[in-house]
């Protein structure tokens, strides 16, 4: 196993192995300090970044950061690596790879072809020597398009997950949030509920309600109840109408075990979802959520820095051809991402790494109430991700999730991003919005209909009656 070093002035900094080098080269964040693997000062961090820039990309195939013998995620990454796809950049160092990514030679087509040849560790390494503008410039070149009942990730499009969570899974409250979100043009990525309980009966009832809404109004979107993959499998076995199979995932076998999953269980969920054949345009049907710090919080990081662990989660995700993947970037708390600056940087890193690896990346632009962050920080990250070409964001009433108790992006925030950046919803969903008279979008300007759609007026009346009774 090679060691690495770099001198700054009269001081030579030495790094025992590639794992330590990666950790010390990472931009400062609280999770790596908590794990006691971060650089001790800025000079050591710069020395590590300079040493890392000289490491050949092929080194990551020769020196796995988590041993092959003990970790099925490492085995997946190594065993599925596409050597032919890697060949065009196999001679490059990490620094040379950064230069190539920023060049005109790295266009959308070449980056799509390259994705199967990159390991998550290669993607994570190059982020550590990139500025924010570099992460945005490269990510916006890459389009990862997926399809189920509509087309997500196309150029000039920004989709949203309509997140109508309720602290008691009350159907009236959930329905009111769905109606509100649709009227603001939200929900083309998915109408997805985080359930308050993991009761199988309750999950099945929510799935049936969501399917009824989509069928009644002929909405070209998909639904999901964000329950454990094994509960989704059970719902499928019961004949319940289920569109997307959800699971939180991480970048090591041990971290995934803390979620109660393995690659075998994920494969079982994937096959169960495919068996329903519910997609009208495609069969991308997995929905994964991730977040920097999840492996460390489970004491399952193997001494790896949290951003590299996160990138490895995308290596898991891409194996199952997902429709949606999003980093819930500030959700775990300030122990892992302390403030707005760290959250913003992490969100852009995650989006970049996911897109570079061929994953359809979205972002839950969020923070907890005890973090040193506020909604201004989220506006900044939202704008930067919009420029970078993020596939989707969250849409929640008033930015405040009353069930999960954290702050994220609102229905209005999607309108802001679409108006400011000239972005549109998924094309099929855009046509539905126009058909329903909710709004049209021309020349980057959103124009709302003059009246509430008749079908929704009736639904609103029903909700008011249900609420008063």
Structure confidence at residue 1 as a pLDDT band (50, 70, 90)? low
Give the model's confidence band at 447: pLDDT under 50 very low, under 70 low, under 90 confident, else very high: confident
| Residue 295, pLDDT above cutoff 70 | yes
Percent of the chain whose predicted confidence (pLDDT) is above 90: 88
d(CA 198, CA 175): 19
Query: What confidence tens digit (pLDDT) does each residue in 413-425 have?
Result: 999 999 999 999 9
pLDDT digits (tens, 9 = 90+) for 427-439: 999 999 999 999 8
Using a cut of 0.85, tell me whether the model's pTM lies above it: yes
CB 131 within 8 A of CB 303: no
119-152 pLDDT, tens per residue?
A: 999 999 999 999 999 999 999 999 999 999 999 9
Backbone angles phi, psi at 21, to 5 degrees: -60, -45
pLDDT at res. 430? 96
| Averaged pLDDT score across all residues of the chain | 95
- Indicate whether 463 pLDDT > 70: no
- Write down the pLDDT at residue 467: 66
Q: How far apart are CA 345 and CA 381, in angstroms?
A: 8
Helix ranges (DSSP H) in 184-262: 200-217, 229-237, 253-258
pLDDT digits (tens, 9 = 90+) for 300-322: 999 999 999 999 999 999 999 99
Backbone torsions φ then ψ of 299, nearest 5 degrees: 55, 45
Kindly list the distances between the CA atom of residue 4 and the CA atoms of 20, 21, 125, 171, 268, in Å, as whole numbers in the listed order. 9, 7, 14, 58, 42
- Per-residue b or e along 202-240, where b marks 16 or more CB atoms closer than 10 Å to that residue's CB: bbbbbbebbbebbeebebbbbbbbbbbbbbbbbbbeeeb
In this predicted structure, which of 291-295, 312-316, 400-404, 454-458 has the lowest mean pLDDT?
454-458
Which pLDDT score, from 0 to 100, does residue 434 have? 92
- Is 327 a residue whose pLDDT tops 80? yes
pLDDT value of position 219: 97
């Amino acid at each position: 196993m090679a060691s690495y070093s770099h001198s700054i002035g009269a001081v030579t900094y030495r790094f025992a192995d590639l794992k330590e080098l990666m950790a010390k080269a990472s931009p400062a964040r609280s999770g790596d300090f908590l794990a006691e693997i971060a650089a001790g000062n800025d000079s050591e961090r710069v020395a590590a970044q300079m040493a890392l820039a000289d490491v050949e990309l092929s080194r990551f195939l020769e020196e796995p950061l988590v041993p092959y013998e003990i970790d099925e995620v490492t085995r997946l990454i190594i065993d599925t690596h596409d050597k032919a796809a890697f060949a065009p950049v196999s001679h490059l160092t990490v620094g040379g790879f950064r230069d190539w990514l920023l060049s005109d030679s790295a266009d959308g087509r070449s980056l799509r072809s390259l994705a199967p040849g990159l390991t998550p560790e290669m993607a994570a390494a190059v982020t550590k020597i990139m500025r924010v503008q570099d992460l945005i410039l490269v990510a916006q070149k890459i389009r990862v398009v997926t399809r189920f009942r509509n087309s997500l990730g196309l150029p000039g499009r920004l989709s949203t997950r309509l997140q109508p969570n309720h602290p008691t899974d009350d159907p009236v409250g959930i329905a009111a949030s769905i109606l509100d979100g649709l009227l603001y043009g939200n929900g083309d990525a998915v109408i997805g509920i985080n359930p308050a309980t993991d009761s199988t009966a309750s999950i099945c009832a929510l799935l049936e309600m969501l399917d009824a809404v989509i069928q009644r109004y002929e909405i070209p979107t998909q639904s999901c109840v964000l329950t454990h993959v094994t509960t989704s499998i059970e719902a499928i076995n019961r004949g319940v109408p289920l569109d997307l199979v959800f699971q939180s995932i991480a970048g090591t076998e041990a971290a995934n075990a803390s979620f109660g999953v393995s690659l075998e269980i994920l494969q079982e969920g994937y096959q169960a979802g495919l068996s329903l054949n519910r997609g009208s345009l495609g069969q991308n049907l997995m929905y994964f959520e991730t977040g920097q710090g999840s492996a460390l919080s489970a004491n399952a990081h193997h001494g790896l820095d949290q951003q590299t662990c996160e990138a490895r989660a995308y290596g898991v995700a891409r194996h199952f051809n997902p429709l949606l993947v999003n980093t819930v970037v500030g959700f775990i708390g300030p122990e892992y991402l302390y403030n707005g600056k760290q959250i913003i940087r992490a969100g852009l890193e995650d989006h970049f790494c996911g897109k570079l690896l061929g994953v359809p990346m979205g972002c839950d632009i969020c923070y907890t109430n005890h973090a040193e962050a506020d909604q201004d920080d989220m506006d900044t990250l939202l704008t930067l991700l919009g420029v970078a070409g993020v596939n989707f964001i969250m849409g929640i009433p008033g930015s405040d999730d009353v069930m999960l108790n954290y702050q994220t992006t609102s229905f209005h925030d999607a309108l802001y991003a679409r108006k400011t950046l000239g972005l549109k919803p998924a094309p099929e969903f855009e046509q539905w919005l126009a058909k329903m008279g909710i709004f049209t979008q021309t020349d980057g300007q959103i124009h709302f209909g003059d009246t509430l759609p008749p079908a929704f007026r009736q639904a609103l009346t029903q909700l008011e009656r249900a609420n008063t009774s």
